Amino acid sequence: MATVSPQEYSTEIGIVMQQELDLSKFDSCILYYFIFGSCFGGFLIIIGLAGNGMTIAIMGRERKKSATINCLFMLAIADSLVLITYGFMLIPAGIRKYFFGWWNGHNYNYITMTYGTEITRTFNQVSAFITMLVTFQRYVSVCLPHRAKQLCSVRLVNILTAVSYIVSILFFLPNFFLYAIVKDGMTHRFRSVSQPLVRSSAFQILYATVATGLVTYVIPVSSLSFMSIQILRTLKTQSKVMQKSDDRTQARKDLTLSSVAIVALFLICQSFVLVNRVLMWLYDPYFGSSRCGGDLQYFAFVPYLTMVINSAANFAIYVILAKGFRKKVARLLKGRNQIAPNESSN
């Protein structure tokens, strides 16, 4: 067994400490983490949680009246879980590095980035499934109204939402075993070690690339795109036939347009997540490439921020496109508990 003399060990420690004292090369990264992670990301998370909270409060009162409203209620809960998890990841990282130094909170960041990322991906997949469910509800109501009573029910939404959580957890479970976190004996800092699954070409091709791409991007994007296009075509045809619409018809139209806008936002934001998954395959270990000085140091936060935007922006979409929802928000902010008249279940 090799031995190290006290002098040699002391010299080695001194070299490491000298390298760590020269932190000027980390200045740009610290500023990047602070501005885009803690400040911008934190702002989006706080605003998103507030908006989702109001959405839950408003739609929670009426979710038993409409399958679509129940879907949007469930979507707000899933998006809130995404934002909360990202809050533990993004907000502390930049603040601790900016005010207390680059290495402050290193072990905490490693744990949250390794396992917290997979938790957020799980909740994000639940959000994707519920987004598909929302769009399907509007697709049936607009394009197949004769099937609405069979396919649009609050009970069915509850069942499919529960299934979405179970499927998402099971699908992303292998990702929690891709890397092991070990502590460096000299610096006492965590670092990741790739496990056999990461080095398996079959796993990377079949699961990490093909299956993950299909489940997280191809299937949601293709189905959402098809249903949204059909919805817009049907609405355009109906607008030519019906010159005037009553309040109930306009409320349905606003709800449908809000659903289509949610889909458009989802398609844009989800594209960055797919790119990130491909880069995780090409750069192993990915954590080293995404850290300061790595090839992907300035791309690292982009997929996180797009997922935060996707989970935080739905409230703004409802306020902009749905007149009835704006009125309910105004009542809520004024402290009034009045609820709008009951609308159709579709």
Give the model's confidence band at 12: pLDDT under 50 very low, under 70 low, under 90 confident, else very high.
Answer: very low
The amino acid at 77: I
Helix 323-333 with 247-282: angle, nearest 10 deg? 90
pLDDT at 13: 39
Q: What percent of the chain has pLDDT over 90?
A: 39
What is the domain range of residue 198? 26-333
Q: How many domains does the chain have?
A: 1
Question: Looking at the domain assignment, is residue 199 inside a domain?
Answer: yes
* Distance in angstroms (rounded) separating the CA atoms of residues 82 and 165: 13
Question: Which CATH number do you get for residue 90?
Answer: 1.20.1070.10
Question: Looking at the domain assignment, is residue 345 inside a domain?
Answer: no
Tokens of 84: 């909360």
The amino acid at 82: V
pLDDT digits (tens, 9 = 90+) for 289-332: 777 777 787 887 788 899 999 999 999 999 999 888 898 898 88
Question: Looking at the domain assignment, is residue 160 inside a domain?
Answer: yes
pLDDT digits (tens, 9 = 90+) for 19-63: 454 556 678 888 888 998 899 999 999 999 999 999 999 999 888
Question: Looking at the domain assignment, is residue 118 inside a domain?
Answer: yes
Residue environment code for 92-125, b if the CB has 16+ CB neighbours within 10 A, otherwise e: bbbbbbbeeebeebbeebbebbbebbbbbbbbbb
With vertex at residue 217, the alpha carbon angle to CA 213 and CA 222, rounded to the nearest 5 degrees, is 125
Does the pLDDT of residue 250 top 70, yes or no?
A: yes
Question: Looking at the domain assignment, is residue 260 inside a domain?
Answer: yes
Question: Looking at the domain assignment, is residue 169 inside a domain?
Answer: yes
* Distance in angstroms (rounded) separating the CA atoms of residues 89 and 116: 7
pLDDT digits (tens, 9 = 90+) for 102-128: 888 888 888 888 899 899 999 999 999
Question: Looking at the domain assignment, is residue 346 inside a domain?
Answer: no
Question: Looking at the domain assignment, is residue 258 inside a domain?
Answer: yes
Does the pLDDT of residue 186 top 80, yes or no?
A: yes
**Number of other residues whose CB lies within 10 A of the CB of residue 200:** 13
